Structure 1
Amino acid sequence: MHDVRPGLPVGLTTRALTPADAHAVFETIAAQELHDLGAVEIEEADIVGDWQRPSFCVEEQTVGVFDGDQMVGYAEYAAPDRGDAAVRPEHRGRGIGTWLAQAMQDLARTHGATVVGMPVPEGSPGDRLLTALGYQVRWTSWILKLPVGASIAERPLPAGYAVRASDPAEYAEVHTVVEDAFLEWSERDRESYADFAATTVLRPGFVPWQLRVVTDPGGAVVAVAVVSVYAEAADAPEAYISRLATRRDERGRGLAQALMVDTFAVARDHGAVLCGLSTDSRTGALGLYEKVGMQVTSTWVNRAISLTSP
């Protein structure tokens, strides 16, 4: 059911979204990224995976803006303090982004959040809009890519260690390694295994080789890389490491570097041309990735606003 909402141009309507709207959301975000970045960094499977998490209710945590049957903008809130929004570039300047920013705040407030934020390319129209609306920078993040044809220098693993695709029987152990590492710097509750699985091993298109691990001499998982191959750009399919983690007591031994070498090599064997990953200022890892030859291709800021009673 479409509703007419105050604050939007005449003729535009809104409604809560359903899982069937994932493709329209992808097209909206992709159009915005192509305009602002010159490339599409998202795949529809990212949205499907995110929306199929048990902790997320699409109908209660999203809203779309429509011009007739075409989606022209959307917003969502994902606990505990993360949101996202996009507006088709040809519809900018009509107040849609401002309306969506408020809608995202309302969704977050309804679900008990005291703050909500989202990533935007630094200096982009979205960044300028959120700045004008009072959103403050929480952290900076970077997307890095390995130049076409370049390789990360190999680093031998310690004796008895091995790198390979993870066995499904290890997926819960993989989740523990990832969460333990990410929670060292991320201020949030522990992600459930079900939510983790929804965006990794149950993500559309996942195949077992895309979850790489390093094991110690006893067979325990001590480092993890989750990679996806983005084939939307047929001329340059990209392998993107969405999660890279090493157990705290195993750091400083070159495990992450060895894992990256393996992951990107296997991804190239499966058709990837570009290789990328992202990191942010909370991790302190930017210099490490640059040291192995990766180059920053875009910079993003996570802007957030405190929520008070409307």
Structure 2
Amino acid sequence: MSASPFFRSQAGYRSRPATTADAREIHRLVAACEHRLHDRATTDADGIAADLRQPGLDLAYDTVLVHDDGGRLAGWAWVRGRRSTVDVHPDHLGRGLGRSLLAWAEARARRRGGDRLAQTVSDSDRAAVALLRSSGYSPLVTEWLLEIAMPEEPVVPEPPEGILVRPFRPGDGHAVHRLAEDAFDEWQQRRQSYEEWALHTVGRATFEPAASPIAFAGDRMVGAVLSLNGPGGDEGYVERVAVRHDHRNRGIARMLLREAFRAFYVNGMRTCTLWTHSDTGALSLYKRIGMTVRRSSTVYSKELAPGTTGD
């Protein structure tokens, strides 16, 4: 397979586009990066596979893998719309690969007609933060990974009056999708199609229906929590929390989260995590139910001035 279009490989490296068959190799790279920064992997191969299947991502043009002369994956990047990801294996840091991949991502975004590009990096990755800032990126949004320890079975409050709760069932996907997209309309840039949304939620191999409670007011779905089994199988992960606008401030989200925590506890897990960010305003809710910040990341954004597309 030829090199990924317009990526200029450095001496000692060769490049090519990614394929869906590369998910596990890419996951090993990402896990190595996460172990360096956080002493554990927080991404699984299932999540990488979902990223590679994103609608609108043309693997032949929007991804690049960089291997060393020994055939080991040294870095990778993808671009889709205004978002991109760049990862460099810890063994290959300090050789300019990050800067080269960042330049490729910007050139690819321009070539697709993009006027802005954003990347999320861990606040503990000082080298990546320095690279983005020196390249003209500015902080846009703060993200927090929260956790709750569960040494004892979590106590679940009684549902609010008129609310019934049950676990996710086959066939609930489309209704939960509509609920979540309506709930997030106030801050997300665009609505996701069901196919795109399902890739990262109910379509994942790690999706855990038993830890995904849904709330109803009569026949109307008014709230949902969707959960995944986290990497390593030793902790749960809450992927989505959504409550209808007209049923907020009734304790539904708190109740559903505690129900999810209890389900993970029953399955032998003693920790549960979730991500939130500053646009949602939900950090205080999670802290009130006993969650604490494990670590934080920042979304950095840059306006792409017209210029060379890298070809």
Q: TM-score, normalised by structure 2?
A: 0.91
**In 2, Cα distance between equivalents of 1:210 and 1:292:** 17
Structure 1 runs of 4+ aligned residues shifted over 4 Å read 4-8, 150-153
How far off its partner does 1:78 sit?
Answer: 2.4
Q: Which runs of 5+ in 2 are unaligned?
A: none
**In 1, Cα distance between equivalents of 2:208 and 2:195:** 18
**Residue of structure 2 in register with 1:40 after alignment:** 41
Residues 180, 70 of structure 1: alpha-carbon distance in 2 compared, 3 angstrom cutoff: same
**In 1, Cα distance between equivalents of 2:261 and 2:60:** 37
**In 2, Cα distance between equivalents of 1:250 and 1:127:** 40
**Residue of structure 1 in register with 2:86 after alignment:** 85
Does 2:22 correspond to 1:21? yes
Amino acid at match of 1:272: M
1:168 alignment partner, one of 161, 167, 170: 170
How far off its partner does 1:56 sit?
Answer: 2.9
Does 2:103 correspond to 1:65? no
Q: Percent identity?
A: 30
**In 1, Cα distance between equivalents of 2:161 and 2:192:** 33
Residues 110, 270 of structure 1: alpha-carbon distance in 2 compared, 3 angstrom cutoff: farther
**In 1, Cα distance between equivalents of 2:257 and 2:9:** 47
Q: Decide whether the 8 Å contact of 1:2 with 1:13 is kept in 2.
A: no
The number of residue pairs the alignment matches comes to 304
How far off its partner does 1:57 sit?
Answer: 2.9
**Residue of structure 1 in register with 2:195 after alignment:** 194
**Residue of structure 2 in register with 1:292 after alignment:** 289
**In 2, Cα distance between equivalents of 1:153 and 1:146:** 13
Q: Decide whether the 8 Å contact of 2:41 with 2:231 is kept in 1.
A: no
How far off its partner does 1:52 sit?
Answer: 2.3
3-state SS, counterpart of residue 140 of structure 2: strand
Q: Decide whether the 8 Å contact of 2:141 with 2:299 is kept in 1.
A: yes
Amino acid at match of 1:253: R
Q: TM-score, normalised by structure 1?
A: 0.92
3-state SS, counterpart of residue 197 of structure 1: helix
How far off its partner does 1:154 sit?
Answer: 3.2
Residues 78, 212 of structure 1: alpha-carbon distance in 2 compared, 3 angstrom cutoff: farther
Q: Decide whether the 8 Å contact of 2:67 with 2:75 is kept in 1.
A: yes
**In 2, Cα distance between equivalents of 1:2 and 1:60:** 11
Residues 151, 141 of structure 1: alpha-carbon distance in 2 compared, 3 angstrom cutoff: farther
**Residue of structure 2 in register with 1:224 after alignment:** 224
CA deviations over 1:103-124 (Å, ceiling 9, x no partner)? 1112222333211111111141
Amino acid at match of 1:222: V
Amino acid at match of 1:176: R
Residues 231, 97 of structure 1: alpha-carbon distance in 2 compared, 3 angstrom cutoff: closer
